[in-house]
Structure 1
Amino acid sequence: MIARRVPVAFATLALGLGLVACTSEVGGQANPSSQVSATNSTPADSGDPFAGLSSCTILDQALAGQGFPQAEKTVADPAHGCHAKKPRAGDTPAVDVGLFLQAGGNYKDNVNNPGKASEGKVNERPAIEEQEPLNVKGQCAVRFQVRDSRALLSLAFGSDTAGACHQIEDLAPKVEPLLPKNN
C-alpha cells in the first residue's frame, strides 16, 4: 500500500467545508460491468433516486452567481450528465464543471486513479475526492453516495490540479444538499 499525504490546502479546506479526508486510499480499478445505463425518465417506482431530477438544473443552482452560462447536456452521456464552461479570462484558465446522476452505480466503483483518491464526507454525505480521475492534470472529481447510486461532480481547470480540487471543494457543499437524501 502506498502512503499518500493530503495537501495542506486540502486539509485546511476540509475543516471549513465539512469534507473530511481519510488517510486511507481508495482501492479498486475501473470496473466496466458496474457502469450504469438507466435514464432520468425512469418511473419513480424503479428505485432510481434521480427519477424526475435534472443534472442541468442541479448544476445551474449550485453555480448560480459564479459567472457560468446555463448548463447543457453532455455529448457523451446526455441522459445523465450536464456541464457548464466558464471561458478563459486573461491568465485564468477556462473552468468546465460537469454533473452526472448515475442510478445504480456505487460511488466507490470505477475510481480510475485510486492513488490520488480520498474517502471522506461532504456535509455528512459519504464521498470520494479523486485528483486527476482520467490521469490528466487539471482535473478533480467528487463522487457522492446517493442511496445505492452515485452523483459524480467533475471540474477541469487548465493544467492546475490543485486549483481544480480547490474549486470543487468549494462547489461540492453547494451540490450536496440538492441531491436526494440517503434515508
Structure 2
Amino acid sequence: MNPVGVFELWLPMLISAVLVFLVSWVFHVLLPIHRSDHAQLPGEETILSVMRDQKVGPGTYFFPYCKDLKGLSSDEMQEKFKRGPVGIMTVLPPGPPAMGKNLALWFLFALLIAFVSAYVAAVALPRGADYLSVHRVAGSVAITGFAASYISDSIWKGQRWSVTLKFVVEGIVYGMLTGGTFGWLWPA
C-alpha cells in the first residue's frame, strides 16, 4: 500500500484556500447579503462619547456584568436583567479596521481548514480514491470547520439566527469548494 502523505496535497490545500478567499470576497463585497447583519445604535454619538469618557478599551464586555454565578440570582441582578439592555459587546482598538491583517488571517484560516481536511482525507482514503469519496471526506471536514462555529454564536452570544444561517450557508459553499478541489487533484 502506498498511502497519500498530507504534504503531497499541498496543491489542493493552496487552491482550495484561494478559492475560498475569492468566493468569500464575492459574498461579502459584491453580494448584498451581509448588509443587514449589523445596525447602528440609537444615540450612537452619545454612547460613544460616554464610552470614551469611561476609557472603555478593546475587549469583550457582557452587560449587566456579574462577577460570579452566586450573584446572578440576587434580586439586584435580576432587576438589572429585567430593566435591560442585556448584551455582549466587542470593542476593537481605535482606528480604521486592519483589513490587510484581517484578510491575511482569513486566508491562513482557510489554509488551516484545508490542511486539516487534507490530513483527515490522507488518513481515511487510499491513493487513487474516486472523486466523490474524496469530496465527501475533505468536504465534510471543511464544512464543519467553516460553518459549525457560527451556530454557537446564536446559542450563546445572541447573534440573530438569520445572520448565522447566512454564515452557515457560506461555510457549506466553502466546504464544497474544498472537497471539490481535493477530489479533482487527489493523487492517482
Confirm or deny a common fold (TM above 0.5): no
Q: Which structure: greater helix fraction?
A: 2
Highest relative contact order (Cα 8 Å, sep 6+), 1 or 2?
2
Which structure: larger Rg?
2
Alignment TM class, shorter chain as reference: under 0.3
**TM-score normalised to the size of structure 1?**
0.26
**TM-score normalised to the size of structure 2?**
0.26
